[in-house]
Amino acid sequence: MRTYYLGVDIGGTKCAAVLGMPEDGQAHVLDRICMPTQPQSGLQSTLDRLYETIDALLQRNHLQPGRLRAIGVSCGGPLDSAVGRILSPPNLYGWDDVPITALLTQRYGVPAWLQNDANACVLAEWKFGAARGCRNAVFLTFGTGMGAGLILDKRLYLGTNGMSGEVGHIRLSEHGPVGYGKEGSFEGFCSGGGIPQLARTMVLELLQQGKPCAYCRSLAELDGITAKAVADAALAGDETAMAVYRRCAVYLGRGLSVLIDILNPEVIVIGSIFERSEQLLRQPMLETIGKEALASSAACCRIVPASFGDRLGDIAALSVAMSEEEECV
């Protein structure tokens, strides 16, 4: 008899319910349904629509809830994974101390587990992706923010109160873009929120001198700068945009060097912006690691982009269900 798992990926913009099963050493996605989160509609409204989405997914695949082995939930923090509660994430207004795993277990009659998105992603990469078979591995989100999921000695490391992996809060410089509420932080230099800050600083002087810039042609466009727009300009050869990504890459290398020296991982897997812009970031990043990290530790650490592209959220949520059951967390 087939073993089915349900993954639930909860985000501020959209949620996805994913039906999957282990097959040939991979997490095979059988079907998925996506829905808008619309947190402004209220917690109960969003939960009701989430239940309807899960019900529709099961019905479409002719499954009763009892056929599920477990449910895995991936959600941005803060949260308490030990008791399965979501604790007021900034992108989920009104989700204050929500016992999401208890609610899902009560409705569907199977165990449910919760992890933040970075932890869910490192489980996915460790079980099925670029970190498979590794004893020690790190996953970095490098998206809207910068967070880490950690596999240490073949177990997900959560820390004393579940706050491990908050690498975006590390200060890399006294001055610099603000991220995680701290000037010069890892998240400030390396995130979808931080890169535009770097870009605005670098382009402002050019604009005041009347010089052109591909990603920002006037002062009126300053607030609309995005990491993607800067990357596109850099790939097209704009010197200012290339300088923005070189600076980001240097600080990425500094942050990675700290992780390499402290954790001595076999692999660091980096998602989102690194996946899309690796060719802009890799060389300055590696040059910085060569200067900053212990040579012996750096030599045994691979740095690679995330494996699953747009499917990562689906695989991550499924991995939470499969991994919790196997007691590797």
Q: pLDDT tens digits, residue range 191-244?
A: 999 999 999 999 988 888 888 798 998 888 889 999 999 999 999 999 999 999
Determine the Cα–Cα distance for residues 155 and 153; give it in Å rounded to an integer: 6
Q: Do 285 and 316 share a domain, yes or no?
A: no
pLDDT for the residue 329? 56
Long-range contacts of 229-233 (CB under 8 A, 24+ apart): 230/195, 230/196, 230/199, 231/273, 231/276, 231/277, 231/280
Q: Do 122 and 175 share a domain, yes or no?
A: no
pTM to 2 decimal places: 0.92
pLDDT for the residue 208? 84
Q: Do 230 and 315 share a domain, yes or no?
A: no
For residue 328 the two structure tokens come to: 């590797």
What is the count of structural domains for the chain?
A: 2
Q: Do 71 and 148 share a domain, yes or no?
A: no
Q: Do 183 and 300 share a domain, yes or no?
A: yes
Task: Give pLDDT < 70 ranges for the chain.
Answer: 324-329
Whether the CB-CB separation of 171 and 150 falls below 8 Å is answered with no
pLDDT for the residue 220? 87
CA distances to 9, 81, 158 from 87, rounded to whole Å, are 16, 10, 16
pLDDT for the residue 162? 86
Q: Do 85 and 212 share a domain, yes or no?
A: no
Q: Do 248 and 209 share a domain, yes or no?
A: yes
Q: Do 258 and 318 share a domain, yes or no?
A: no
What's 258's domain CATH number? 3.30.420.40
The residue range of the domain holding 234 is: 132-306
Q: Do 179 and 285 share a domain, yes or no?
A: yes
